[in-house]
Structure 1
């Protein structure tokens, strides 16, 4: 049995553990089912200040069409609740979905007469350089697209709610989690307990680092809620937006308390060796190192992405 009760309709959650008497945020979890992504709007109930975490830009690889339905739902939620969005936060440069951070920044600056900065961890520059070179994206296209490059353990506020950017490497070297009140938004570090953890086979990924990051998360108080960046529910289970630290320590199939670092590295390495590349890998990385900005149009008006060919030994 899980030690927590949750209302999936509005993201409100209750823990049987004692709570720290600090200002707690209101959390809206919005699931994007095509890529299995959790998007979050997190606000201070006393000031209506808010942040948006890991928003999705819709993309259809069959037609190459980009649409903004998911992002527009976040804008509608923000408008309905009367929030002022102070920041847009990315946990890392995602490889499985496109970010709508720049689109939201533009739209929000028109709505609230304030341009919310886009934040990410300071190590993004190494990721941008690597994938910029791989995909032919010039430095001018990604050099200043992120407004805030968070230092490790850098603190900030959302209205009267305290928050902290926490370095959680393993899935990617630049990966951050955001501790907001008694919650941590852990991106692609931990998933639901029946899935375990994220892959570590991307450039700069490391299973030992991910194990240490998971222990960092699970060293928080048992009552702290862990909100993952994705869920891929098997048949018969709805997407679940959070579990407590206590839940993961008892039940997470990869990092519960009875699993050692050596066991984790072995199982993660074996599993990663048999995983296919993410379906939107190439499109996502080219857009996401630009913080969601689109490639500049050619003289023809087309905006192009680069997709590598698999030649299977052929060459001419």
Structure 2
């Protein structure tokens, strides 16, 4: 008897899901409980599992397709079994199929990538059992390495704040390693390490780029728009230091004619345009389910 693969319902408000990839091809053997496809919802990416044994006879949705909850996306059966796709589609999902939605890794939660090597500690955490440091004494909780506790006199702490000295970089010479006033003064006299070079901004696209949003990003965009439209907002006003900008403005206006004088608004527009040059991903309106990144910066 053929086994249906349907789009499961992974949450109360889930209405559709996207086929990210099929893990099985038509004709591949399938075992009950085996991951056969990965789907994407507005909240998670997760694998769905087979309800029965056999081979994957039909894939009724392609990778990238968005499918309503409960719709038939695949059929599992025996190699020589006659498959009536129309009849299976007409049956609709059986009781429990949509609600349970045979899910694989994560059970509705996003998988977190692990970059550390899978040593005894990692394996023990993955299995939910405590591990001992260095792999000895199983069952004993692992202890985190103690953090260095700074010992500093009040005068030294105040002096460090005044001179911009990072206390974490100072080796105390007082009793018990306490940081003293002299330690701060010596640290302040040492030349500061050169700051790391700033990362070069990503090059702006030479032409407009259309970026397809994932279902999760689409949901975020809808909620943000809804919040802006319906929720009351509180706007924060702050003061910024414009002394240098006003000095440059005065210098430019000394040599400019009346029609070319620079206003404060001009300076703000210049700063915004420069920011969009460095962060061109913000120069993009949202059109339906796509982000349209613009090449030109228009004022």
The TM-score, its normalising length taken from structure 2, stands at: 0.22
Question: Which has more strand, going by share of residues?
Answer: 1
Higher relative contact order (CA 8 A, sep 6+): 1
Flag the structure with larger Rg.
2
**More helix per residue:** 2
